[in-house]
């Protein structure tokens, strides 16, 4: 008899598309930056601040999402995310003042996209998969970062041809269009379709266990949480914040056209998709801490070399190498959170770890803009980021994989 098709793969497909598109939307400020600074009174620093505000809210939306998914379900959180994102972008296209851009394009669209960016993938993977869970997390991580990078050529070309406002309208309509497949095909858990998680043993009962009450009270008193948050802070600073927001202006400073620079980012996105899926596969087989050491060290060396890239071949090589490592840190980081704090606590704890990631991205995006305006180029920002990334790789080795927090629910005294 043929084995019945596992519906979880449909959920993975829909989730991947939602994550890819919303991640592409969150990356729009980097593609639109040059067009936005053409507006009267909008400087690189002020637009960078609007982008940074969006990144901060984007990160903080992760813990909010983890809580909401436990209350109203995964599907309803996704629908809410798409509505907020679509409406905020359509409204942002009408912005005339920088505070309006910050509120609509930054804060509100950051909230909308952040509701699905960090917690959705790990939650779906944990609920639907026992077997191949690391691989599925890798697929979602690849969709997230590939969406940020693959959208750049389209959005940059659109900004050059029609302006950033037209781009905001198209992105808003795209987000609203995703409401249809999400409403039809997305399910909260295997029980909704009469199935059990992939890889679950016959007769094994799988309940969707809610997060422990007071789990974050215990987490913040644990050094492993701060090592996870700290290394992911640096991950966000060196990827989304620095390269994601400022790679195109940096490349333009070095003689490349905006479209050529965005094409390099698209190449980065393609290889990032490959690298992150491979990272998910490796996470099921190799100590995640050793993977993080390799990833961060490799990233640091790449950033140290970036200021010396001046020709097409070199920028292509950088795009391939950095792309393989762009968000490859996600699967091992999620695995370490699950190992240390328990699978059922991943949504909440990883939500806060991801918030640290986006705080790092926000600070790097803002500071790099200030460095560019005051120094005249981005070299100092890239060199500093390279050394910090190498330090993060060695810091990851200090994280413990197992502990009492992963083995038992919170004691009554720790209840929220």
Full 3-state SS string of 199-234: CCCCCCCCCCCCCCCCHHHHHCCCHHHHHHHHHHHH
**pLDDT score of 241:** 84
Cα separation, 331 vs 93, in Å, equals 35
- Sign of torsion, CA 138 139 141 147? positive
What integer pLDDT is reported at residue 1 of this predicted model? 37
| pLDDT value at 410 more than 60 | no
The more confidently predicted of residues 337 and 211 is 337
Taking the C-alpha atoms of residue 181 and residue 185, their distance in angstroms, rounded to an integer, is 6
Integer Cα distance of 217 and 413 in angstroms = 11
Q: How many CB atoms lie within 10 A of CB 174?
A: 18
Q: Which residue has the higher pLDDT, 170 or 40?
A: 170
Report residue 139's pLDDT band, with 50, 70 and 90 as the boundaries. Answer: confident
Q: Is residue 123 helix, strand or coil?
A: helix
pLDDT of residue 64: 85
pLDDT of 210 reads 67
Tokens, residue 18 = 């939602």
* d(C-alpha 232, C-alpha 332), whole Å: 11
Burial profile 94-127: b = 16 or more Cβ within 10 angstroms, e = fewer: ebeebeebbbbbbbbbbbbbbbbbbbbbbbbbbb
- CA separation for the pair 42, 410 (Å, rounded): 49
Q: What angle do CA 340, 344, 348 make, to 5 degrees?
A: 80
DSSP characters for 338-370? HHHH-GGGHHHHHHHHHHHHHHHHHHHHHHHHH
Residue 209: what pLDDT? 67
Which two tokens mark 368? Answer: 């790099």
Q: Flag whether pLDDT at 405 surpasses 70.
A: no
3-state DSSP assignment of residue 129: strand
pLDDT band at 408 (very low <50, low <70, confident <90, very high): very low
What pLDDT score does 12 carry?
93
- State yes or no: pLDDT of 378 exceeds 80: yes
How far apart CA 323 and CA 271 sit, in angstroms, is 5
Which range among 15-19, 150-154, 256-260, 400-404 has the greatest average pLDDT?
A: 15-19
User: Residue 217's CB: how many other CB atoms inside 10 A?
Assistant: 14
Higher-scoring residue by pLDDT: 105, 148 = 105
Give residue 293's pLDDT: 95
Alpha-carbon dihedral 345, 350, 355, 358, rounded to 10 degrees: -170
Check: CB of residue 119 under 8 Å from CB of residue 66: yes
Measured CA angle at 119 (ends 115, 125), to 5 deg: 135
Report the pLDDT value the prediction gives residue 149, as an integer from 0 to 100: 65
| CATH fourth-level superfamily of 10-193+214-405 | MFS general substrate transporter like domains (1.20.1250.20)
Q: List all residues 6 or more positions away from 52 whose beta carbon is below 8 Å from its beta carbon.
A: 106, 362, 363, 365, 366
Quote the pTM value. Answer: 0.74
| Surface-to-core class of residue 194, CB atoms within 10 Å of its CB (0-12 exposed, 13-18 middle, 19+ buried) | exposed
**Are 65 and 118 within 8 A, CB to CB?**
yes
Q: What is the pLDDT confidence band of residue 336, given thresholds at 50, 70 and 90? A: very high
Give CA–CA dist 118/241, Å, rounded.
16
Residue that has been written with the tokens 């043993």 in this structure: 201
Integer angstrom CA distances of residue 10 from 15, 187, 412: 8, 9, 39
Q: Does 411 score more than 50 pLDDT?
A: no
Between residues 101 and 37, the one the model is more confident about: 101
What is the predicted pLDDT for the residue at 126?
79
Residue pointed to by tokens 């990356």? 27
Give the C-alpha separation, 320 to 325, whole Å. Answer: 9
- Residue boundaries of the structural domains of the chain: 10-193+214-405
Q: pLDDT, tens digit, for every residue of 261-279? A: 878 877 887 888 788 889 9
Q: What is the pLDDT of residues 51-73, one digit of tens each?
A: 878 878 887 888 888 778 877 88
Chain centroid to Cα 395, Å, comes to 21
| pLDDT over 90 (residue 388) | yes
Digit-coded pLDDT (tens) for 284-327: 889 999 999 999 999 999 999 888 888 888 888 888 888 888 87
What does the pLDDT average to over 215-237?
A: 92
Span 370-386, average pLDDT: 88
Determine contact, residues 44/168, Cβ cutoff 8 Å: no
| Percent of the chain's residues with pLDDT above 90 | 27
């Amino acid at each position: 008899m043929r084995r019945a098709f596992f519906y979880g793969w449909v959920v993975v497909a829909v989730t991947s598309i939602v994550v890819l598109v919303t991640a592409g939307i969150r990356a729009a400020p980097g593609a639109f930056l040059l067009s936005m600074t053409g507006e009267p009174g909008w400087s690189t620093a002020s637009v960078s601040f609007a982008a940074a505000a969006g990144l901060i809210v984007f990160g903080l939306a992760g813990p909010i999402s983890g809580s909401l998914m436990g209350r109203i379900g995964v599907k309803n959180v996704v629908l809410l995310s798409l509505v907020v994102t679509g409406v905020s972008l359509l409204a942002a296209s009408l912005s005339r003042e920088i505070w309006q851009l910050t509120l609509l394009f930054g804060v509100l669209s950051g909230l909308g996209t952040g509701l699905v960016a960090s917690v959705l993938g790990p939650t779906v993977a944990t609920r639907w998969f026992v077997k191949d869970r690391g691989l599925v997390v890798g697929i979602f991580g690849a969709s997230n970062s590939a969406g940020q990078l693959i959208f750049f050529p389209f959005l940059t070309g659109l900004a050059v041809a029609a302006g950033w406002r037209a781009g905001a309208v198209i992105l808003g309509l795209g987000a609203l269009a995703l409401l249809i497949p999400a409403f039809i095909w997305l399910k909260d858990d295997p029980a909704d379709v009469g199935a059990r998680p992939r890889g679950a043993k016959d007769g094994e009962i799988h309940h969707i266990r809610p997060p422990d009450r007071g789990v974050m009270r215990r987490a913040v008193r644990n050094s492993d949480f701060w090592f996870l948050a700290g290394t992911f802070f640096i991950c966000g600073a060196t990827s989304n914040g620095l390269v994601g927001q400022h790679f195109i202006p940096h490349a333009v400073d070095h003689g490349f056209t905006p479209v050529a620079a965005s094409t390099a980012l698209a190449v980065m996105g393609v290889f990032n998709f490959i690298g992150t899926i491979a990272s998910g596969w490796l996470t099921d087989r190799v100590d995640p801490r050793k993977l993080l050491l390799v990833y961060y060290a490799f990233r640091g060396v790449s950033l140290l070399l970036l200021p010396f890239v001046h020709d097409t071949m070199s920028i292509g090589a950088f795009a391939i190498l950095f792309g393989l490592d762009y968000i490859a840190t996600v699967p091992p980081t999620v695995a370490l959170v699950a190992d240390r704090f328990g699978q059922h606590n991943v949504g909440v704890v990883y939500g806060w770890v991801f918030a640290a990631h986006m705080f790092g991205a926000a600070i790097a995006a803002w500071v790099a803009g200030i460095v560019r305006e005051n120094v005249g180029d981005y070299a100092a920002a890239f060199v500093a980021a390279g050394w910090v990334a190498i330090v993060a790789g060695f810091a990851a080795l200090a994280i413990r994989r197992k502990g009492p927090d992963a083995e038992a629910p919170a004691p009554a005294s720790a209840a929220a």
